[in-house]
A = this chain, B = another copy of it.
């Protein structure tokens, strides 16, 4: 007997037939004797519809009202799944964020979960094997009692937080892919599904644009040591042996992975834009002068490269922003031109970031050097480089993205 959280996204609950399919997945685990909490998203398309209405009502809408509106999507799905489960003879009930409660911060539309009381759920597991069907994505602000939501992909975070609160043995994320791959299989057909990946690595993957899981759900899993299992919601429930090992990827502690490879996978993102600020005075506070206004405009700056100046007077500073924020970034910097004192700004939107990830890098030298050599061998020019303990990223011309990813995927022995 195990205690499981099962999370299903919008595609998996898009209509009554798919909700019934989800119910069969749940029934399988219940029949196997497990205690089950299910976390559901809104039906596919519903959140978009509700968001569009909010925007049409007023472009500058109150985030607290936005949250009340969009949270209705998950409320509908949790009730419908509970009804479906009960129709199959399974004791179940729905829980809204405010009912458990799932207490959050007051950052409406992107609130953080502060506390979840799992006692009532555990009591009901023990007393009557009741399945808890919980609305993902939503919570309640601890002081005001108003509905909050966690931001896009927030149901993943709900699921992992609930798994932590009820000390679940595993948090199964049912999604439209059957696990986490060494890189995007559409780019590299020889990409492999990983059986296991460490939290730290998954964090890099998620941050770098692999859209399998919301970043915060991985952070939460790491902090609370919740085993997260990414698996396919398209497998037929009746084909799955509840006592066997289904296909999927387990996101777990580093020490739970016996054979750790040096490089785990290659991530990439084409939604990047590069901005180079030329000949800025090389004085204390110059970075703050540049990045302060960008932060105030809520522009997410990623790779930052600043070289030591050759003349001790001026330097060039290069960084990347999301491509969608490129023009806005130029505008913000243009307004601060006199405060920063730069000469000119160069920019490019046809750039891509390719990242090599692996915990093993910590103890292996020369991993990045191998990459630089291989890319040079393909005549791929590297515009900028950043590194962290367990990954390094290169900024290249977007046209070479696929070639670079394939080259590195082979280089580190990740091909099937």
Contacts and interface: CB of A to CB of B under 8 A. Distances in A.
Number of copies of this chain that the complex holds: 2
6 smallest A-B Cβ distances: which pairs?
A58-B87, A69-B79, A68-B79, A72-B72, A57-B83, A61-B83
Contacts of A83: 54, 57-58, 61-62, 65-66, 69
Contact of A65 (B57, B59, B79): B79
A96 interface: yes
Contacts of A64: 93
A86 B72 contact: no
A146 B53 CA distance: 27
Contacts of A94: 65, 68
A14 to B, nearest CB: 12
A365 interface: no
B79 A75 contact: no
Nearest to A96: B68
A93 B146 CA distance: 10
Nearest to A17: B56
Given A99-B145, A145-B99, A79 B60 contact: no
A66 to B, nearest CB: 7
A84 interface: yes
Nearest to A61: B83
Contacts of A96: 68, 147
Nearest to A147: B96
A62 B78 contact: no
A54 to B, nearest CB: 6
Contacts of A79: 54, 65-69, 72
B57 A19 contact: yes
A73 B69 CA distance: 9
Contacts of A102: none
A141 B81 CA distance: 21
A53 B14 CA distance: 12
Given A19-B57, A53-B80, A58-B86, 6 more contacts: A16-B53, A50-B76, A62-B86, A64-B93, A69-B79, A72-B73
A98 interface: yes
A263 B73 CA distance: 49
A271 B83 CA distance: 32
Contacts of A62: 82-83, 86
A150 to B, nearest CB: 17
A290 interface: no
